[in-house]
Each structure stands twice: as structure tokens, then as C-alpha cells.
């Protein structure tokens, strides 16, 4: 092969591992290897970026550098744009080959990758991109999508290369020492995350072990409760987002565990439910890959131009700060600020409350949540945000009532008491709706609604208004046609693995419900 023996650059992106890393394996097979991670200032100035994302990545880079050292390879931490890196590589080596994983990221990374592709074409450099998720570039319809997902997940994982040779001159591309990475203050948002999950492969493997050895047995039945999901959910999300674990290695390990636990009904049900989530991971990312403007534009044409967009609106500011006066909503936001994580149901409730209960457009709340989620994954985030705010026009309208959610998923009020301590002394009934505390009891409890804790907006009336409005807009013949086109392009064409098949519903027969409390919303 003509490319043999020229320098093989491995560009690490959101794939911070050496195991099951096809670009690294291929590079090592063809010549001296130069592994590099680019710290791109522009990337860390985008409005969806945050210090907590960087800190999690830095943990992963430290583990990655150690793992590469075990292969006698360095990890170069380049500071600057990737285009500048490519120019410098060209100046140093003349010819080289570039290897990386394919990425479905935000609009900025999409444009950056387009620019890299153009640079490679102009400079006759081969850029080999491997798939690490079941996402297909340029896909226009979903027929056979599940089959390719299964093929990729069932294929053998790539072992770390045994005899890799480092490229000489790598020092010129190493700007930031590994030890100083955690101290960098990168990210548009600098809110401290005092209880952030630790990153890195060791931490990821430890989580997975504890999940399959004991925590996972209670997975099913714990997911909707924010305290139980914290303990019995896998908590793998930031590791999958930063690739410290590969999705395929998790899927394959999971299959072995399902065999092992097949005679225990509780384990079986839990691991079956977990299997569907790993499939949804790629199913959602595929949506953003196929429709990149979902990041900033309402998906359904009939539903555009609705709701409040002012980035300084008092409702938005109160929601962002956990000061809406609705205890479960505020508890979720405050817990998210401190920990960087929240379970699915509470994420859905937060965005549902912002868009239906407060009448806000989804975009600013989406950015705020993106900055707070350590596991921010654009391909899951924006499709979920649009779905939960009723912007897709193709999913059942789910509006989560925070009072019902508190009854069902924080039955003893412990979560609220922990995160909204100003309500901790109130009996359960008033802890969930402190505005209704009778005047006769206010002195006794030393609590004055409106001064000790905010009074809420009339969120139930507001939600009814927006639900009716969206319902009407979705019903026109033109809107229905548009819905069918969107379903053909973005919806799953069959049931997820691990999930029982249900009869497919057409758009027109879908029931529109207010304040439903069903299973986690999915669109299959």
C-alpha cells in the first residue's frame, strides 16, 4: 500500500480509549503512529460547552495517556485548531495519513469536520473515518437500519495494537502537559460541578462492573425515581459520550451477562430494558445525523415560531436557577447544577415544564441543560428536547405534571427535602406545593410562601394552553402530511432490541394526552 510507512496520525475525538479503537489499530498496522488530541479554543467557546464537560474529558485524557504509554506511544495535546494542526503536520512530515472516528456532534463540529475533509482533499491526505456507533452518514430513510446496527455491534472488537511504533518528532505537536490538563478552565459555562462523576476508563469500567454484578438487578423499576436511578441506573452516559468505553464492548458484555442471568426474572427484565437504551442511544443520534438543523430549528414546519424566546425572560431565569416555586422542578435543577446528572424522567419533566408550563421556546432551555449535563451528547440531546417539548409533531404529546411526578417518583419527599432545604421542615403534602400551606399553619412552620420560597406561575393553565395550541396546529391536512414525511425519514422502522413489539400507530390515531405518566417516551 502506498501509504505504508508514512506517519499515521490518530486524531482522538470523543473516543478516549485504546481498546476497540479501529483508527488506532489501523494506524499502527501501516506505519509510525502519532496520537493527538486537539484542544480547540473555538470549540470550548460554543454556547453549549461547559467546564464540567472539559473536566470529564481531562480525566479521560489522563487515563488515555497512561494506556498509550503502555504501548510505547505518546499522547500529543495540541492547542489550537485542527486545521492549524494539519498545516503543521504537513510542514513537518510532508505526506501523512489521518485516522479518526466519525463524529455526529453539534453544528460547530460538523462544520469543523467539513473543513478538515476539504483540507485533506486539497492536500491529498487520506482521512480514514471509522464508525463507533450504529449511525450511518448521509442516511435518508430508516429501512434496514436495525440490521446494520446489529452487524456493527456483533462484530469483533478491535484489540489495542501490540507493536505500535511512535512517530519521530511528535514533541512538536505536544503543547500542554498531561498533568496540567485538569487545571485548564475551558468551556463557555464555568459553573462548578461539586459532585461531578469522575471520568476516565478506569472509572467507566468500575461503574460497569458494579452495574452487572449487583446494581443492575434493580435497574427496571428504579428509572423514574431520581434517587433510585442515581444508584441503580448504569450511569454510563458520560463514558459513552466521551468514548472511554465503546458502545460495542458494552453491548457485547451485556449479552454475556444476559446469558448468565437468564434464569433470574428480575435480572432478565432489567437487562432487557437496559438493552433497549443502548439501541436508543444510536437511534437518537441518527436523527441529528440525518437532520442536523434539529439543534437550532423546530423540526415540524407547522410548529415553528411559537413560544417565548427572550433569553432574559424572568420565567427562564427562575427555571435556570431552580427558583420557579415548583419544588420538584427546582430540586431537579439544583441537583443537576451540583452533580451534572439527572435521570431520564426528570430531564423530560424539566424541559416539559419549561416549554409547556412556562411557555418558553425550547432552544434556550436546551442550551442550559446541555451545559449542565456532564454527558451532553448532541445527538441524543436535541432530538429528546424537541420530542419532550412537542416540537416534533409526530410523537404523542407528553406533558409531565410536576405535582404528579413528585407523588409518584419522590413519594417520601426526600429528594425535594435534600435539594430544596427551605421546604424540608414542611409536612409532605405542603412540601410538594408550599403555596397551598394554610395561613393558620404558616406561623407554626415558620414558612411564608412568596418570601421564604417563590410563588409559582400558573403552570397548569399555561400547559393546557400550549397543549391545545399544538394539538390544533398538528391537525391540519398539511401538517399531517409533513408529519408522515418526518416519520419516514427519522422514525425507527421496527421495535428496538429487547423490547416487545407493539402495533405501529399512524400519526392520526395517536392519542394526545395531557399530564400522562407512562413509560419513558420513545418514538418507536
Ligand X SMILES: Cc1cc2nc3c(=O)[nH]c(=O)nc-3n(C[C@H](O)[C@H](O)[C@H](O)COP(=O)(O)OP(=O)(O)OC[C@H]3O[C@@H](n4cnc5c(N)ncnc54)[C@H](O)[C@@H]3O)c2cc1C
Annotated binding site for FAD: 219, 274
Min dist. Cβ of residue 152 to ligand X (A): 16
Pick 203 or 351: Cβ nearer ligand X: 351
For the annotated binding site, the residues are 219, 274
Min dist. Cβ of residue 376 to ligand X (A): 4
Calpha distance 390→431 (Å, rounded): 29
Pick 203 or 348: Cβ nearer ligand X: 348
Calpha distance 386→388 (Å, rounded): 6
Min dist. Cβ of residue 349 to ligand X (A): 9
Calpha distance 460→464 (Å, rounded): 6
Min dist. Cβ of residue 357 to ligand X (A): 14
Q: Which residues bind ligand X (CB under 6 A)?
A: 233-237, 240-241, 277-278, 280-281, 284, 343-344, 347-348, 351, 373, 375-377, 380-381, 384-385, 388, 520
Calpha distance 255→159 (Å, rounded): 19
Pairing verdict, β 7-12 and 76-79: unpaired
Min dist. Cβ of residue 244 to ligand X (A): 12
Pairing verdict, β 7-12 and 33-39: parallel
Pick 152 or 278: Cβ nearer ligand X: 278
Pick 234 or 492: Cβ nearer ligand X: 234
Pick 133 or 474: Cβ nearer ligand X: 133
The residue among 142, 178, 170, 155 whose CA lies nearest residue 20 is: 155
User: Which position has the grid cell 425507527?
Assistant: 492
Min dist. Cβ of residue 412 to ligand X (A): 22
Cell of 231: 444508584
Pick 134 or 449: Cβ nearer ligand X: 134
Min dist. Cβ of residue 34 to ligand X (A): 30
Calpha distance 137→286 (Å, rounded): 8
Q: In what order do the strands lie in the sheet with 33-39?
A: 76-79, 33-39, 7-12, 96-101, 127-130
Pick 281 or 474: Cβ nearer ligand X: 281
Calpha distance 357→457 (Å, rounded): 8
Cβ count within 10 A of residue 193 = 21
Q: What is the 3-state secondary structure (H, E, C) of 232-264?
A: HCCCCHHHHHHCCCCHHHHHHHHHHHHHHCCCC
Amino acid at each position: 500500500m502506498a501509504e505504508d510507512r508514512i506517519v499515521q496520525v490518530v486524531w482522538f475525538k470523543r473516543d478516549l480509549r485504546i481498546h476497540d479503537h479501529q483508527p488506532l489499530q489501523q494506524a499502527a498496522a501501516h506505519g509510525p503512529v502519532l496520537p493527538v488530541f486537539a484542544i480547540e479554543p473555538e470549540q470550548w467557546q460554543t454556547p453549549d460547552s461547559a467546564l464540567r464537560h472539559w473536566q470529564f474529558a481531562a480525566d479521560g485524557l489522563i487515563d488515555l495517556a497512561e494506556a498509550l504509554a503502555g504501548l510505547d506511544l505518546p499522547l500529543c495535546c495540541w492547542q489550537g485548531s485542527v486545521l492549524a494542526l494539519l498545516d503543521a503536520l504537513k510542514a513537518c512530515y510532508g505526506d501523512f495519513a489521518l485516522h479518526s472516528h466519525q463524529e455526529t456532534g453539534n453544528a460547530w463540529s460538523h462544520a469543523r469536520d467539513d473543513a478538515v475533509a476539504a483540507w485533506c482533499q486539497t492536500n491529498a491526505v487520506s482521512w480514514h473515518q471509522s464508525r463507533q456507533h450504529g449511525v450511518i452518514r448521509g442516511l435518508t430513510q430508516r429501512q434496514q437500519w436495525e440490521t446494520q446496527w446489529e452487524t456493527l455491534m456483533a462484530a469483533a472488537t478491535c484489540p489495542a495494537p501490540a507493536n505500535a511504533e511512535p512517530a519521530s518528532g511528535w514533541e512538536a505537536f505536544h503543547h500542554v502537559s498531561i498533568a496540567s490538563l485538569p487545571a485548564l478552565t475551558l468551556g463557555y459555562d464555568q459553573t462548578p460541578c461539586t459532585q461531578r462523576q469522575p471520568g476516565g476508563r478506569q472509572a467507566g469500567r468500575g461503574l460497569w462492573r458494579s452495574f452487572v454484578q449487583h446494581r443492575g438487578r434493580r435497574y427496571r423499576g428504579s428509572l423514574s425515581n431520581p434517587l433510585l436511578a442515581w444508584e441503580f441506573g448504569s450511569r454510563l452516559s458520560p463514558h459513552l459520550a466521551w468514548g472511554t468505553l465503546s458502545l460495542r464492548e458494552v453491548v457485547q458484555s451485556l449479552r454475556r451477562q444476559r446469558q448468565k442471568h437468564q434464569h433470574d426474572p428480575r435480572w432478565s427484565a432489567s437487562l432487557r430494558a437496559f438493552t433497549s437504551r443502548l439501541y436508543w442511544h444510536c437511534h437518537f443520534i441518527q436523527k441529528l445525523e440525518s437532520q442536523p438543523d434539529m439543534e437550532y430549528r423546530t423540526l415540524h414546519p407547522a410548529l415553528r415560531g411559537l413560544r417565548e424566546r427572550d433569553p432574559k425572560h424572568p420565567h427562564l431565569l427562575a427555571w435556570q436557577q431552580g427558583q420557579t416555586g415548583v419544588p420538584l422542578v427546582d430540586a431537579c435543577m439544583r441537583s443537576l447544577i451540583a452533580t451534572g446528572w439527572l435521570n431520564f424522567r426528570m430531564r423530560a419533566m424539566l424541559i416539559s415544564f419549561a416549554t409547556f408550563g412556562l411557555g418558553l421556546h425550547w432552544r434556550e432551555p436546551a442550551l442550559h441543560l446541555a451545559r449542565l449535563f456532564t454527558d451532553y451528547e448532541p445527538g441524543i440531546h436535541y432530538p429528546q428536547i424537541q420530542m419532550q417539548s412537542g416540537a416534533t409533531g409526530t410523537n404523542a404529546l407528553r406533558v409531565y405534571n410536576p405535582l404528579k411526578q413528585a407523588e409518584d417518583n419522590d413519594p417520601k419527599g426526600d429528594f425535594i427535602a435534600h435539594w430544596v432545604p427551605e421546604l424540608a421542615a414542611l409536612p409532605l403534602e405542603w412540601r410538594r406545593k408550599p403555596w397551598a400551606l394554610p395561613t393558620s399553619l404558616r406561623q407554626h412552620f415558620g414558612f411564608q410562601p412568596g418570601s421564604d420560597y417563590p410563588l409559582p406561575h400558573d403552570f397548569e393553565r399555561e400547559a393546557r394552553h400550549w397543549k391545545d395550541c399544538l394539538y390544533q396546529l398538528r391537525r391540519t391536512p398539511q401538517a399531517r402530511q409533513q408529519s408522515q414525511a418526518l416519520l419516514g425519514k427519522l422514525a425507527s422502522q421496527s421495535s428496538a432490541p429487547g423490547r416487545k413489539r407493539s402495533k405501529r400507530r399512524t400519526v392520526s390515531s395517536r392519542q394526545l394526552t395531557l399530564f400522562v405518566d407512562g413509560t419513558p417516551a420513545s418514538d418507536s
